[in-house]
Structure 1
Amino acid sequence: MSRLPRSTPEAQGLSAAALGSFVGALDAGDPEIQTIMLLRHGHVVLEEAWAPYRSTDRHLLFSVSKSFTSTAIGLAIDAGLLSLDDQVISFFDADELPETISDNLAAMKVRHLLTMTTGHSQDTVEALSRDRRMVKIFLGLEVRHEPGTEFVYNSGATYMLSAILQRLTGETLLDYLRPRLFEPLGATEATWQVSKEGITVGGWGLSIDTESMACFGQLLLQRGQWQGTQLVPAEWFEAATSKQVPNDNEENPDWKQGYGFQFWRGRHNTYRGDGAFGQFILVLPEYDAALIVTSATTDMQAILNTVWEYLLPALEGKEVPAAERPERLVLAPPAGPAPAPGDGTTYRFSASNATGLTAVRLDVDGTGTFTFEDLQGRSHELVCAAGDWREQTATDPIDDAGPDTGPDTAQRVLTSAYQDGDAFVATFRWVETPFVARLACRTDGDTMTIDGELNVSFGPTGISLTSDK
């Protein structure tokens, strides 16, 4: 059921043709767009999904999650549970603190976690994410600089905000936000990854659908008010989305306009929550508009460049460059001849590979059955065949050597296959994430080799596997 009112673009002062050019430009660009939704004056005036993606599916938000964590901290501050100037070390027990507490660690405050100015010289998340003692490890890391003096993007800092909230409330971050934010917004589908020590990870791992993202964007535009109720203090969103610290050391133009409390400032007086591979809640307050994007790209700046070139002039009532919008927005399966018949042999692989693939069987009917082991050690079979996308359900097996693995829930997977010379080529789309895997399988007697790639990854994208003997 829709939670936001729908409207024609014209009724909200926009040109449908101009928005069509914006969609056409997104479709023609290199970044793969999966869903978009545009709000103007509180109404949805544009909503698109590139099939097989759907706006109603949960989508892994990566670091957009941080903006929701910020919101929880704002609520907790309003409830009198903590303040911006509380020492970080004050929330934790002696057995979690280092034997010697440095002056810089002692000086680290809640506001430094929020503004990514903890004093660390690099993101701490890689040191934390593979261990069960993430809090203890964070507190034991060297704090090289005086807190508050240097911006260093730090997902580990957001994890610590979640840990602090859990210590204060006895609830996980997700449980704390459910009655205060997610349920009022209708985002009851929300899931959020939990660490090995039982803490909602905070800086990543939240999954909600496109309209829930849009509801949060509208909440930001309304400064925390929703259907007549002030869900979040207006003062918190005013501070959180304002420039709190400079971040001129960042490279791309929309990432060096200042940083708030877990929100990025952008060009044209905008602010946003954004996540790896092109997830955006982009708020344009001067135009009473918010744009939601889910996508799969390593060039997030390219998406924002398209926004400034096509959408911004549409909001300003200016001429928009022409770009043809296709009749159907679709990410088609790779084209090619039907796979050649196999012989039914099962080839097995070590489950420690980055894809979680443990077995492949190519059958005489030209189908391939691929067995994946998820991060909980459970097996899922996915069948690949020629033609249109085949829809199945499994948990995401991809361990991409990065912090942004998704929640442990079943999700839609789309598969297809074709023959390329001597290779059976299988494609997998985990459509509740950005991830797409392409695997070219070749057999030689009792051995199968697989060469492939992931479309996006925090680590290497190439895949090279050889079956076990």
Structure 2
Amino acid sequence: MTTTRELPRSNPEAEGLDPAAVRRLVENLDGLDAVHSFMLLRHGKVVAEGWWSPYDAETPHLMFSVSKSFTSIAVGLAFVDGLFDLDDKVLDHFAAEAPEAPSDNLRAMTIRHLLTMSTGHAASTMEAIVPTNLGMQESDWVRQILAQPVPDEPGSRFLYNTGATYLAGVIVQRLTGRRLLDYLGERVLEPLGFQGATWEQDPDGLDVGGYGMRVRTEDLAKLGQFCLQQGHWDGEQLIPGEWIEAATSRQIHSTHDDWPEWRQGYGFQFWRSRFGAYRADGAFGQYSIVWPDHDVVLAITSGVQNLQSVQDAVWDALLPSLDPVAARDAGLPHDAPGRVLPAGGSQTPPVVAPPEGGITWDLHLPRPTGERTRPGTPVTGRTYRMSPNDGGLEALELDLDDDGRLVLREDIGGKRRTLTLGHGEWVRQDVELADGPEELACAAAWTEPNTLVVRMVAVGAPFTFTLTLRFDGDDVTVSLDQNVAFGDTHLLDATGTAARPEPEPTI
């Protein structure tokens, strides 16, 4: 993908947006746990954007279930190419993988049911997370999904089901003979100027469809603008507008106990939102929000557990100036000035106006605060041997590099991992994690005389890890936590003791 067609820039006033509302949007987002980037478009132009350091504009970010919306567009392309009908039976495309005696409900399942998450399953057939947590480490995922019971009549109710998206994506790949990324890339992503997009694959080399894409924030914004323009881009109709209209319209009722944004209905792999908007939506706060009534698109990447909080921050900021009546009806102050919410990272961030227009905000995630060096007895140069623990941490040691920065070395599962830790700055480095290589940005500080806090940000993903080391004489206590996860966010507790130096040999 070599074509580069970046979005045009402007400023809020030129595009009819209240600058105070834009500032309030940034302050609201900055007040959440960990928003990583945003890009706000009005009338097809970027009027404000920002990345919370160490995140940046060029590094693709993991999208989780935003990938489903890309799969929807690929399905739409194959459909308008005449490769299948939405009411085709699923088993007609998977005869070889079908159970020996498929149930009537499985026989009745169609591609339309896959797209609307109404397959009749009682639980998701696969979670939107890496394969090691899917219970599907082996190949032939199609056969495993089709073997699961279908107790309800397809079409009777909505149940979020990543396995349904996977099956829809496999159908496209089989009929086109191409990866989703390549098929979609040639027809849509390349004309839109996407750069560096990737898609995770299953053990059989199939793009997994329901998760696993990585794209830049600007490309996430392009997805929303492409949908707002009903599939039209740069003078060409890349996909019929009728498909975008159907995919982003409410096709089925959806429910959620706590979050109103998830009660607005579901289309073909797109969610409906309040106030006439819709969105591509991924775990931990990845969004491309499209607001047709006001010609607005907003791309956001995050690492938050409360997904509703991100969209509440958006409506609180933008709705009062764009739709005061709706804001009043929703209980929002329709004449509120810009506010700084508590617990943010940057607070009242300064703005930078680039020459081409638009506003770029100077933002950062909070780093550990404290001393650069430990007061009192140093702990560098000592190797701490760890007691048996669930994380496989065998030993650790601290040292200093030539620039005086702390270096943490960890022996995990027989392998050594080295991290350079910035103080008051993020140090980016490639690190081998349990799930594969990842670029981490690391910073540390002595928050107390005996306590070193290390923060490690996966700059291509929503994950931040906090390692806390507490030293007491020859002993160390270690804990490791993760900001967001599908399971437990507390990852490790361990203790260790400094190894005694070997005695000098005697003659």
Counterpart for residue 456 of structure 2: 428
Counterpart for residue 34 of structure 2: 32
TM norm structure 1: 0.89
Does residue 337 (structure 1) correspond to residue 339 (structure 2)? The answer is no
Counterpart for residue 494 of structure 2: 466
Counterpart for residue 335 of structure 2: 319
Counterpart for residue 137 of structure 1: 144
8 Å CA contact 2:195–2:216 kept in 1: the answer is no
Secondary structure of 2:481's match? strand
The 1:144–1:370 alpha-carbon spacing in structure 2 relative to 1, beyond 3 Å, is farther
Q: CA deviation at 1:441?
A: 2.6
Moved more, 413-422 or 295-304: 413-422
> Structure 2: how far apart are the matches of 1:46 and 1:304?
17
Moved more, 101-110 or 421-430: 421-430
Counterpart for residue 180 of structure 2: 173
> Structure 2: how far apart are the matches of 1:166 and 1:54?
32
> Structure 2: how far apart are the matches of 1:454 and 1:254?
26
After TM superposition, the structure 1 = structure 2 runs for residues 274-353 of structure 1, keeping only pairs within 5 Å, are: 274-316=281-323, 319-324=335-340, 325-327=348-350, 328-340=362-374, 341-346=378-383
Secondary structure of 1:268's match? helix
Moved more, 74-83 or 12-21: 12-21
> Structure 2: how far apart are the matches of 1:103 and 1:146?
9
> Structure 2: how far apart are the matches of 1:378 and 1:132?
28
After TM superposition, the structure 1 = structure 2 runs for residues 51-450 of structure 1, keeping only pairs within 5 Å, are: 51-94=53-96, 96-126=97-127, 128-249=135-256, 251-316=258-323, 319-324=335-340, 325-327=348-350, 328-340=362-374, 341-346=378-383, 360-363=396-399, 367-371=406-410, 381-394=418-431, 397=433, 412-419=439-446, 420-442=448-470, 449-450=477-478
Q: CA deviation at 1:412?
A: 3.5
8 Å CA contact 1:449–1:464 kept in 2: the answer is no
8 Å CA contact 1:21–1:320 kept in 2: the answer is no
TM norm structure 2: 0.83
Q: CA deviation at 1:20?
A: 1.2
> Structure 1: how far apart are the matches of 2:439 and 2:165?
29
Identity of aligned residues (%): 44
Q: CA deviation at 1:188?
A: 2.9
Moved more, 248-257 or 72-81: 248-257
Secondary structure of 2:275's match? coil
Alignment RMSD (CA, Å): 2.7
Q: CA deviation at 1:97?
A: 1.8
8 Å CA contact 2:5–2:192 kept in 1: the answer is no
> Structure 1: how far apart are the matches of 2:395 and 2:285?
32
Q: CA deviation at 1:467?
A: 6.9
Q: CA deviation at 1:290?
A: 0.6
Amino acid of the residue matched to residue 218 of structure 2? Answer: E
8 Å CA contact 1:117–1:152 kept in 2: the answer is yes
* Structure 2, unaligned runs of 5 or more: 128-133, 325-333, 341-347, 351-361, 498-507
Q: In terms of Rg, which structure is larger?
A: 2
Could you list the per-position Cα deviations for residues 406-462 of structure 1 after superposition, in whole angstroms to 9, with x for gaps in the alignment? xx6x65421012224433321101111110001113467987542121011111001
Alignment length, in residue pairs? 454
Q: CA deviation at 1:286?
A: 0.4
Moved more, 125-134 or 112-121: 125-134
> Structure 1: how far apart are the matches of 2:227 and 2:276?
14
The 1:380–1:446 alpha-carbon spacing in structure 2 relative to 1, beyond 3 Å, is same
